[in-house]
Each structure stands twice: as C-alpha cells, then as structure tokens.
Amino acid sequence: MIRDISRLTKSKFDLIVVGGGINGAAIANLAAACGATVALLEKGDFAQGTSSKSTKLLHGGIRYLENFEFDLVHESLRERFIQWQSVPYLVKPLPFVIPVYKNDTRPLWMMKLGVWLYDLLSGKYRMGQHRFLQVSEISALAPGINLDGLIGGVGYTDAQMDDARLCLENVLMAYNRGAVTVNYLEVENFIKDNNQRTIGVKVRNSLSGQQMDVFGSKLIVTAGPWADELIQKDLPHPVDRLRPTKGVHIVYRGEISSSAFLLQSRQDKRVFFVIPFKGNSLIGTTDTDYHESPDHVRVDEADIQYLLQEAGRVFPNIDFDRSKIISTFAGLRPLVADKGDPSRISRKHVVESSSSGIYYVMGGKYTTYRAIAEDAIIKALPHLASKLPYSRQYVLYGSGGSNEELKILSQRFEVPLDLIKYLQSIYGSRFEDVLNITRGNSNLKQKICSCSPAIGAQVIYAREVEMAQTPEDIIERRLGLSYLDCPTGDCRRSIEAIFKSLP
Ligand SMILES: Cc1cc2nc3c(=O)[nH]c(=O)nc-3n(C[C@H](O)[C@H](O)[C@H](O)COP(=O)(O)OP(=O)(O)OC[C@H]3O[C@@H](n4cnc5c(N)ncnc54)[C@H](O)[C@@H]3O)c2cc1C
C-alpha cells in the first residue's frame, strides 16, 4: 500500500470517505468492491481513534438484552459469526463467565434467562452453548475469585478480535480493490458549489503541511467522535448529534483466568470485563460523559481507581497493584445523542444526510461494522446496492496454509514453526510476504525484543506495505506491542533503528 497523495488530485472520485476507523475502512472496501472510485482520508493513522481503543470483542452484547434491544443483539450475533468465518486468524471464540452474588442487581434467574435468550437469538450463527455454572465450577475457572456471597453463575461464548488490525485489513483490501487510501491527511473543510452542495474537501498533509483540494460526487463522514466537529464545518447552524462517552481500559500483568469474566460493578451497577489478553488481562471499561475535544481524551486517575477497586472486589486474592499495570488506554464511544444513563444509550448506528449532501455515519458497534458499511452505501450510493457482495461472503484475506504447508515453509525459510504460526495469526495468508522480506537478510528473522515473537521483517512490512508512518504506528497498531510487558524497551529501540534505516 503506497501513500501516493498525487493520485488524490488526478480525478474526481465517486466517493470520498472521511475518517479511517473501522466504519470508514469498511465503507471504502465495500464501495471499491462494487467498482466505485474511492478516496479514504484519515487525519492520523488508520484506527487511531475509537477503533483501536475498544474492548476488542465482537459480541452480541448480552447486556443490551436488559434494554430489550433484541434486533441489535440479533444483528450483532450474525455479524460476529460472519467475521469469525471471514477472518478466523483475527477473530477467535472466547468463553465468558458471569458470576452472580447474593446482593447483585441482576439476579441469577435473570442471567440464566439472558444466556438462554442470547443463544436463541444466535440461531444458526451460534458460536458455543450456554451453561449454568455451580460455585465450584466458577471457582475452578478462576481460583482467586471471591466466594463470599457467590451463589452461581452462567457461561456463554463470544469472540475476541484485534481491532486495529481488522480495521487495517479493510484498508488494505480497499487499496487492493483500487481505492486511494491515505493516512495523516486531515480534512480541514468542505468545498461547496453555488447551491451549497458539497463537491469536495480541503485537506492538509499532517506530515508535510501541504494543502490540496480533493473532489468527489458523494461524501461519507465516518469521523466517529469527531463527527460534530465536521458537522460544524459543514452547516451554518449546526446542532450537536453526538453524546460521546469515555471508556478506559487497563492492561494488567498476568492472566487472571483463561475465561473472560463479565462482572457487575458495585459502585454504579454497570457491567465491566476482565478478559484474558495476550498473556495478560484486559480490565474495562468505564462509561462516563465526555465534553472536551476528542483529540484530548486521556485516562484519569479516577478511571484507574474505579477499575482496580471493582476488579479487586471480585478477585480479593490478587494484589491489584498500580505497578503491575502494563498500559492504559481511553476511547470515546461516538453515541448518538440521547438522555439518561450513558451505559444505557443505544449502540445502534444512524446514517444521516445533511442539507449540503454529506452522509454522516454515527453510533454503532465495532461488531456491526459490515452491516453499517452496507447501510451507508445503500443510502449514499443506491445505484451500488445491487453490486454489494452477499453478506455471508465478506472477503478479506484468508487464513492461508494448512499445518503441513506451514511445516514445509518453516524448513524452506529456516525459521521455527512457532514463528510461522505467530505470523499467520497476524497476517493470515499474507504471512509468506513477510517471510519473503527475510530472503537475503537473515538478520530480519531475528526477534526485535524478548517481550514478543515479533521479528525485524515485520517492521519493514509495516512501513512498506501497511503504510506505517511512525514507530508509534507500529508499536501501537501494527504489532500491538504496547499491550505487552516489556522490561527492557528493546522493541521500541529496535523499531526506531530499523525505521531510521529505511528510505
Ligand atoms: C471503550 C470502548 C470500548 C468499546 N468496545 C467495543 C467492543 O468490544 N465491541 C464493539 O463491537 N464495539 C466496541 N466499541 C465501539 C466501537 O469501538 C466503535 O463503535 C467503533 O470503533 C467506531 O468506529 P468509527 O470508524 O466510527 O470511529 P473511529 O474509530 O473513531 O474513526 C474515526 C476516524 O476519523 C478520523 N478523523 C476525525 N476527523 C477527521 C478529519 N477531519 N479528517 C480526516 N480524518 C478524521 C479520526 O482520526 C478517526 O481515526 C467500544 C468503544 C469504546 C469507546
């Protein structure tokens, strides 16, 4: 994927997509698959907004059942299954447990009904079978769990994914289908004709400062929590459409359980997760109203204390110590404005057109991104509707390579089979492209650090094929190294050194 900005000014596009999070990437991918000429413009790195700050679940959202959002849950369960089938190397089934205590707001019978209904709504898209759990079974799954008042629980299955890489897969696929995909290019304003219809965008290259105009017949804004900022540039009398809420996660050293836990908080009765994640535990999330610029979202001490206290209550044997936090991250849910408790606002998406002809995609869940993209295309480019791929054939890159084929490649490239499996779990069928980079330079087969299996060739691949512009893009989103416990900092130093050596 080459960052060729000159292609943006050569012709007028059928579609300009503003924002390279999951929704923008998927819309660009699907529109390009239908034969449209597409420009995808992202002001930072792809997925740098909410789409790399999620809980990394493709889930029906069992908790939305208590809001009676059965249609959203059913749609999400279907989409979860489609993604699992399409991108199995990035989407994996994950068993969940909900322990129930005597004084919990949501009683055991409600949880039993919930998981039963969840499986019923899954229908043919089911990923596992729900279970009713005894206290002894829960304690076997998480030996440190608080047994005081524990009366039982339930088990069900959802899916875990790599949010930043799934977004990147969509960008890469869009590019391969002919879309012009450019990161670090900010849309600063809209270009209107004499009738105040939008015909293009004024952009600024964040890396060089260069400004230019890009023209398109249709515009879709998928700016996530930044949507209101763009609406303000678009309309003379704008009204805020979003109610962004902040969600914070911490990555805690060590795996608390190999099952994920959905827990009920005592402080505000919300639910939160403790999830096995890359050998550590992902604890989150919070859900609080947010009123500042999305550019400045940050983790506050109160967010960390909330999560540590709530996790500590359920796992009292674990000494939840601040020094064992590997990293923290905060994201903004781009929820469509509504009154009431933030965690009860619907996660449904909307596609709205403005008087100047721009389509805005707002709200939604990561899980339903394919359906959101389809809906946006049907609304903004109805003539493409008949060309959309059949929903259960959402083609990204395949997994590639049976076990036997991997063994042969391991011998051919003289690398351990484990390394090939690791590369396959990140790149799917493209892992061989990464290995090909090591031909003629066996140093690139070496690990860049002791904290992960990542090798030098991946840094080059990220820079040359995956459009990484900074070492941070690689650490955070291409390789997800900030989630790992690195005592030496060698991975950052190696990446910076390889990066500097490249043209
Ligand atoms: C804490 C948290 C946990 C979540 N967990 C889950 C989960 O487990 N499962 C799930 O299904 N959903 C989850 N979600 C929801 C999900 O992450 C979001 O719905 C989804 O990522 C939104 O994607 P997006 O593309 O709309 O927005 P974003 O990912 O925010 O993308 C918008 C992009 O637009 C770019 N942009 C903004 N302004 C401009 C401009 N002027 N020019 C060019 N580009 C611009 C931004 O840089 C950004 O990259 C979670 C959300 C949060 C906050």
pLDDT of 339 over the 90 cut: no
Radius of gyration, CA atoms only, the chain: 23
Please state, in angstroms and rounded to a whole number, the distance separating the CA atoms of residues 228 and 354.
12
Do residues 344 and 61 lie in contact, with contact meaning Cβ atoms separated by under 8 Å? no
CA–centroid distance, residue 236 to ligand 1 (Å): 26
pLDDT of 131 over the 90 cut: yes
Q: Which option is the CATH number for 403-501: 1.10.8, 3.40.50, 3.90.1070, 1.10.287?
A: 1.10.8
CATH of domain 5-51+164-241+346-387: 3.50.50.60
Cβ neighbours for 326, distance < 8 A, ≥ 6 positions apart: 251, 252, 253, 280, 483, 484, 485
Q: Give pLDDT tens digits for 377-429.
A: 999 999 999 999 877 667 777 777 788 888 998 999 999 999 999 999 999 98
Kindly state the average pLDDT of the residues 6-10. Answer: 95
- Residue 427 CA: distances (Å) to CA of 114, 166, 367, 420, 430: 36, 10, 20, 10, 5
Residue to probe by mutation, ligand 1, list 30, 366, 477, most atoms within 8 Å of CB: 366
Burial of 447 (0-12, 13-18, 19+ CB in 10 A): middle
pLDDT of 343 over the 70 cut: no
Indicate which residue's Cα is closest to atom 21 of ligand 1: 51
Tokens linked to 494: 């190696």
pLDDT of 66 over the 90 cut: no
Q: Give pLDDT tens digits for 84-110.
A: 998 999 999 999 999 999 988 889 999
Q: Give pLDDT tens digits for 167-191.
A: 999 999 999 999 999 999 999 999 9
User: Is the CB of residue 55 below 6 angstroms from any atom belonging to ligand 1?
Assistant: yes
Q: Give pLDDT tens digits for 423-468.
A: 999 999 899 999 999 998 999 999 999 999 999 999 999 999 999 9
- Residue 94 CA: distances (Å) to CA of 103, 275, 383, 442: 27, 9, 39, 36
- Closest to 231 (Cα-Cα) out of 220, 243, 240, 218: 240
* φ, ψ dihedrals at 331, nearest 5°: -135, 165
Element (H, E) at 75: helix 70-86
Q: What is the pLDDT at residue 342?
A: 66
pLDDT of 67 over the 90 cut: no
Q: What is the pLDDT at residue 265?
A: 87
Kindly state the average pLDDT of the residues 146-152. Answer: 95
Residue to probe by mutation, ligand 1, list 69, 201, 203, 226, most atoms within 8 Å of CB: 226
Indicate which residue's Cα is closest to atom 16 of ligand 1: 366
Tokens linked to 265: 């908080």
Q: Give pLDDT tens digits for 325-335.
A: 999 999 999 98
What single DSSP character describes residue 29?
Answer: H
pLDDT of 137 over the 90 cut: yes
User: Is the CB of residue 78 below 6 angstroms from any atom belonging to ligand 1?
Assistant: no
User: Is the CB of residue 182 below 6 angstroms from any atom belonging to ligand 1?
Assistant: no
Please state, in angstroms and rounded to a whole number, the distance separating the CA atoms of residues 69 and 305.
31
Element (H, E) at 284: strand 280-284
- Of 340 and 471, more confident: 471
Kindly give the number of the ligand 1 atom that is closest to the alpha carbon of 188: 41
Q: What is the pLDDT at residue 180?
A: 98
User: Is the CB of residue 42 below 6 angstroms from any atom belonging to ligand 1?
Assistant: yes
Sort strands 150-161 and 91-101 into parallel, antiparallel or unpaired.
Answer: antiparallel
Angle at which helices 108-122 and 70-86 cross, to 10°: 60
Sign (positive or negative) of CA dihedral 170, 175, 176, 177: positive
Amino acid at residue number 184: Y
Q: What is the pLDDT at residue 348?
A: 85
Kindly give the number of the ligand 1 atom that is closest to the alpha carbon of 286: 1
CATH of domain 93-160+243-340: 3.30.9.10
Sign (positive or negative) of CA dihedral 37, 41, 47, 50: negative
Kindly state the average pLDDT of the residues 51-77. Answer: 90
User: Is the CB of residue 328 below 6 angstroms from any atom belonging to ligand 1?
Assistant: no
pLDDT of 344 over the 90 cut: no
Phi/psi class of residue 196: alpha, beta or left (left: φ > 0; alpha: ψ in -120 to 50)?
left
User: Is the CB of residue 331 below 6 angstroms from any atom belonging to ligand 1?
Assistant: yes
User: Is the CB of residue 48 below 6 angstroms from any atom belonging to ligand 1?
Assistant: yes
pLDDT band at 353 (very low <50, low <70, confident <90, very high): very high
Residue to probe by mutation, ligand 1, list 287, 296, 365, 368, most atoms within 8 Å of CB: 365
Kindly give the number of the ligand 1 atom that is closest to the alpha carbon of 333: 53
Q: Give pLDDT tens digits for 226-273.
A: 999 999 999 988 888 899 999 999 999 999 999 999 998 888 888 899
Q: Where are the domains of the chain?
A: 5-51+164-241+346-387, 93-160+243-340, 403-501
**Local structure of 406: helix, strand or coil:** helix
User: Is the CB of residue 285 below 6 angstroms from any atom belonging to ligand 1?
Assistant: yes
CA–centroid distance, residue 23 to ligand 1 (Å): 8
User: Is the CB of residue 15 below 6 angstroms from any atom belonging to ligand 1?
Assistant: no
Tokens linked to 351: 């596609």
Do residues 498 and 475 lie in contact, with contact meaning Cβ atoms separated by under 8 Å? no
- Residue 344 CA: distances (Å) to CA of 127, 284, 340, 417: 26, 16, 7, 46
pLDDT band at 21 (very low <50, low <70, confident <90, very high): very high
Average pLDDT, the chain: 93
Please state, in angstroms and rounded to a whole number, the distance separating the CA atoms of residues 413 and 4.
32
Residue to probe by mutation, ligand 1, list 29, 46, 50, most atoms within 8 Å of CB: 50
Amino acid at residue number 47: A
